[in-house]
Structure 1
Amino acid sequence: MREFFAAWLSTLRSPLLPLLRRALSSSSSSSSGGWDDPLSSAAAAVEAHFQAHWSALDAAARQDPAQAVSAGDWRSPLELPFLWVGDLHPSLVTSLLRSLSPSPRLLAATDRVDRRIRAAVPSISDRLRRVQEAFISAEVSGAADVEAFLEELKDVALDANRLRRGVLSELVAAAGGYQAALFLEALSRFVLSMHDPEVLRRFDQCRASPGC
């Protein structure tokens, strides 16, 4: 997964993000966003790239469920506070969209997605906790079923990634056209910033000197 994620970040950094930025700069905010225009094509490529990331996490969950629900060793230290069940918390995506001053219509759609997140996240988190507690109880009695435990972890990871995929798809569809492209550009910048050497250098400095 480390190699995949490094290649995934590299592709997002270039060519996908520069292509999206060029399309944004040559389009107007009133762009209708037909899927055959350069802006929508560039936005669709970025969205597909994020979806491919979650598909790869699904594949990793099927191979190594324990790692899939934890912070993988490919994560940057700045990424760690934002993780939930192996990847970014879905509410970060709606928070990012809200920071772009969306229209009332898009804000209403974001509210609907947030309600879905608030219902799903505790359910998935509780399921993970119950799986952990059941394993501990069984281990104490000498009857732990490791295979069943890993199967449950896999299902938790798949459900979390399914939620992330749905959140992004719903928000992009609700935004549409120019607003969707702006949102995907901001999401890409946020993800890349957590692996930016200069940002990480400042982060490490502050960790070494609290209150910097």
Structure 2
Amino acid sequence: MLKGVFSRQKQSRPFKEYYVEWVSTLKNNLLPLLRRSIGGESPTILSTHVEMVHQHFQSYYYALDAATTSDPFQLLSQEWRNSLEKPLLWLGDLHPLLFTHLARSFLREDSPSDTDTDTDTDASSSHHRPWQVALAWRNPSDSLTARMDQIDCGLRLIVPTLSDRLKRAEDAFVDRVVPDWFRSRHRKDAAKVALGADFKEHMEEVVSAFLYANRLRRNVLLDIMSATSVYQAALFLEGLAQFLIGFRDPHLLNALEHCKALPLHAKHCRPRCH
């Protein structure tokens, strides 16, 4: 009922449809282009495709801003997200620490040969990559390591603060809504006005927190891109794209659903879950 009474002006297109199309473009167009340029010999072409993928992610978060402002309810429920995505969500989308963890995974890479192989049959261009790519994350500079530490440290300060801000807003909403409704419960219109004012104020705070979280995600991506070379950025974005596309892998989703359906003591389920 609250959604119907206090809804904002909605976008004509559900965000879930945009998201499906966005992932499809990443998987079928931008990622293959990036992989071919990673395996090529032209830094200029590689730089162009790296920026294309980066801007694809940036455009996604601007679109998420618009969806949050026009209809925050679809992002609060996130019913269109699958079982793999939901545990990793924070304020409407991926937790920004996932970006820094992925970058740190490259920093901890021990063998350059790990970047030369890919089991995906569509990624044949990832074999036999130039040495600049294969060694891109080997022996990172002190400045790169320090910058990653700064980004990570900043997130670990900001994320709990923003989460606490949202929790305080929820607590304040609960504290207000029952007394305001109770005082005006015998007057239908007055109760509606009181509840509507409380709800509007709360949703404005929720939307503000979601928009701040999106800005944080955009900035973290930009900070990582600014701190890395074109070869490092290419591998990072390739890994991030693979990570997101993997969420919608039907085989992986079926394996997860199979595990959920079996008893916990079923031993043959465990390898699938890992």
The SS at the match of 2:106 is coil
Q: Which blocks of at least 5 consecutive residues in structure 2 are unaligned?
A: 1-14, 108-136, 181-193, 270-274
AA matched with 1:12? L
Q: Which blocks of at least 5 consecutive residues in structure 1 are unaligned?
A: none
Name the CA distance, whole Å, in 2 between partners of 1:66 and 1:42: 35
In structure 2, what is the equivalent of residue 140 of structure 1?
Answer: 178
2:82 to 76, 82, 94: 76
In structure 1, what is the equivalent of residue 256 of structure 2?
Answer: 203
1:14 to 28, 35, 53: 28
Q: Which moved more, 1:96-105 or 1:186-195?
A: 96-105
> Is 1:126 aligned to residue 132 of structure 2?
no
For the pair shown, which has the larger CA radius of gyration, 1 or 2? 2
The alpha-carbon deviation at position 119 of structure 1 amounts to: 1.2
CA deviations on 1:136-160 (whole Å, 9 max, x unpaired) are 0011212541111111111000000
Contact 1:71 1:80 in 2 (8 A): no
CA deviations on 1:19-49 (whole Å, 9 max, x unpaired) are 000010114xxx8x5xxx1101111111111
- What TM-score do you get using the length of structure 1 for normalisation? 0.91
In structure 2, what is the equivalent of residue 54 of structure 1?
Answer: 61
- What TM-score do you get using the length of structure 2 for normalisation? 0.71
In structure 1, what is the equivalent of residue 145 of structure 2?
Answer: 107
Contact 1:47 1:184 in 2 (8 A): yes
Name the CA distance, whole Å, in 2 between partners of 1:20 and 1:73: 31
Whose RCO is larger (CA < 8 A, sep 6+)? 1
AA matched with 1:57? L
The alpha-carbon deviation at position 106 of structure 1 amounts to: 2.4
Aligned residues: percent identity?
44
Name the CA distance, whole Å, in 2 between partners of 1:172 and 1:138: 44
The alpha-carbon deviation at position 198 of structure 1 amounts to: 1.1
AA matched with 1:38? I
Name the CA distance, whole Å, in 2 between partners of 1:121 and 1:175: 23
The SS at the match of 1:26 is coil
Name the CA distance, whole Å, in 2 between partners of 1:205 and 1:107: 41
Compute the RMSD of aligned alpha carbons.
1.5
CA spacing shift, 1:151–1:11, aligned 2, 3 Å: same
CA deviations on 1:92-150 (whole Å, 9 max, x unpaired) are 11101111134143222111100110111011101110110011001121254111111
CA deviations on 1:27-73 (whole Å, 9 max, x unpaired) are 4xxx8x5xxx11011111111111111111100111122443x3522
Name the CA distance, whole Å, in 2 between partners of 1:66 and 1:7: 21
In structure 2, what is the equivalent of residue 86 of structure 1?
Answer: 92
Greater than 3 Å deviation, 4+ residue runs: none
CA spacing shift, 1:89–1:55, aligned 2, 3 Å: same
AA matched with 2:45? P
